């Protein structure tokens, strides 16, 4: 079955030649990494043939994972061929999930609750921006404050799940990106984490960001699967990460729930309002207010997906989508613009649903199976459909 893995990797690189960024990371054989622009219809036929042959993979878990991944690649080749696919079908085809519409009544109720939770008086967005400003970590201090957070998270992950020998990552501060943080898998159990400083980085958000991108989130998952699936089992297809494929639903679900997997809400609040507040010189009461508001804002988690549906499915003008984001995400002009930029990006326009749907799927798995369930997701190939079952 090594031929299946090679064909998978080569097809991914051929797609990436048309859609740069389709490959999120690659650490496999370099002679397979051929980025030659080929006819999209030929790639479509190749994906169809590969899908048929994947049915013969003997290992059930490997076969199920490859099946949904190659189906997503086939959807990509349809898009590259110029086929007009409705936006909701694009989401389904790439990620094996259903896109969600938000309930405006529920959003309005969440805003009302948030109005009663946030300190101060006056317009809700202005009050939140004022609180965020008090919690911002100066750019020059971000890496200093992040180091003890990473040390604590790594210690907990090592004890609870284990880490492959030799894993490591570096952190860079970047600008002019559509996202707040990003993990770039580099292969050889390594990755690079970028933190975008276009917008203020908030102290109460740093533990979640470091867990999401590092321990036990994206870096931990990629390094663990490289060690267990690629090196031990020879499943070389796991040496490449694709941005427009169902693996991202599970990966973002792992990352969204990463902090919860190693730390209780009570532990987090005590840590933030104690040692970390002192380290960053932040008022613990502001942190408590932010955490209370964040708990309420979980009910607003579908706002970005609804914005994407309005933009891409409904054809709403940008100005209307920006207004929606300002109203329901309580976003400043700058944060609304960044959100719009994300859902307009060709690689991320359908990706936005991986956070909410993946987060819910993995969260439910954690509710059922706790640490053992999370460990399985870090180590084994699992599809969105298997989590739904």
Calpha distance 161→179 (Å, rounded): 28
Give backbone dihedrals phi and psi of 187, rounded to 5 degrees, phi first: 85, 170
What per-residue confidence (pLDDT) applies to 328?
Answer: 95
Query: From its phi and psi, is residue 122 left (phi > 0), alpha (psi between -120 and 50) or beta?
Result: left
Calpha distance 276→284 (Å, rounded): 9
Calpha distance 359→100 (Å, rounded): 13
Do 261 and 371 form a contact (C-beta atoms < 8 A)?
A: yes
pLDDT < 50: residue spans in the chain:
none
What per-residue confidence (pLDDT) applies to 389?
Answer: 83
Calpha distance 224→293 (Å, rounded): 34
Q: Name the average pLDDT for the chain.
A: 96
What per-residue confidence (pLDDT) applies to 2?
Answer: 61
Q: How many residues does the chain have?
A: 389
* 335 half-sphere exposure, CB direction, 13 A CA radius: 18
> In 3D, which of 219, 260, 265 has the Cα closest to residue 373?
260
Domain locations in the chain?
104-388
Burial letters 219-250, b for 16+ CB under 10 A, else e? bbbbbbbbbbbbeeeebbbbbbbbbbbbbbbb
List Cβ neighbours of 161 (8 Å cut-off, separation of 6 or more): 216, 220, 224, 371, 374, 375, 378
Calpha distance 129→290 (Å, rounded): 11
User: Could you give the angle at which helices 247-256 and 206-213 cross, rounded to 10 degrees?
Assistant: 140
Burial letters 157-187, b for 16+ CB under 10 A, else e? beeebebeeebebebeeeeebbbbbbbbbbb
What per-residue confidence (pLDDT) applies to 1?
Answer: 53
What per-residue confidence (pLDDT) applies to 243?
Answer: 97
């Amino acid at each position: 079955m090594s031929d299946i893995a090679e064909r998978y990797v080569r097809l991914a690189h051929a797609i990436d030649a048309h859609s740069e960024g389709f490959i999120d990371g690659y650490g496999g054989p370099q002679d397979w990494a051929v980025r030659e622009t080929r006819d999209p219809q030929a790639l479509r036929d190749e994906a169809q043939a590969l899908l048929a042959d994947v049915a013969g993979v003997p290992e059930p878990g490997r076969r199920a994972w490859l099946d949904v991944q190659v189906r997503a690649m086939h959807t990509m080749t349809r898009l590259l061929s110029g086929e007009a696919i409705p936006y909701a079908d694009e989401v389904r085809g790439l990620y094996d999930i259903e896109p969600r519409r938000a309930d405006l009544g529920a959003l309005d109720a969440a805003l009302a609750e948030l109005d009663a939770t946030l300190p101060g008086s006056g317009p809700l967005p202005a009050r939140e921006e004022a609180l965020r400003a008090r919690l911002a970590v100066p750019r020059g201090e971000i890496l200093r404050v992040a180091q003890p957070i990473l040390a604590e998270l790594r210690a907990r992950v090592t004890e609870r799940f284990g880490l492959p020998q030799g894993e490591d990552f570096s952190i860079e501060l970047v600008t002019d990106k559509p996202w707040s943080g990003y993990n770039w898998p580099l292969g050889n159990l390594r990755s690079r984490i970028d933190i975008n400083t276009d917008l203020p980085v908030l102290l109460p958000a740093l533990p979640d960001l470091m867990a999401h991108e590092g321990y036990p989130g994206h870096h931990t998952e990629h390094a663990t699967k490289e060690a267990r699936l690629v090196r031990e089992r020879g499943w070389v297809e796991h040496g490449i990460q694709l941005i427009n494929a169902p693996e991202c639903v599970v990966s973002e679900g792992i990352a969204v729930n990463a902090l919860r997997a190693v730390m209780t809400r009570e532990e987090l609040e005590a840590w933030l309002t104690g040692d970390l507040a002192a380290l960053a010189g932040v008022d613990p009461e502001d942190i408590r207010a932010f955490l209370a508001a964040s708990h309420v804002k979980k009910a607003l988690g579908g706002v970005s997906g609804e914005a994407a549906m309005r933009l891409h499915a409904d054809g709403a003008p940008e100005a209307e989508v920006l207004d929606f984001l300002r109203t329901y995400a309580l976003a400043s002009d700058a944060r609304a613009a960044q959100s719009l930029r994300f859902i307009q990006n060709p690689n991320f326009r359908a990706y936005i649903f991986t956070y909410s749907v993946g987060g819910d799927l993995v969260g439910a798995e954690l509710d059922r199976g706790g640490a053992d369930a999370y460990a399985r997701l870090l180590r084994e190939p699992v599809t969105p459909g298997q989590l739904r079952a």
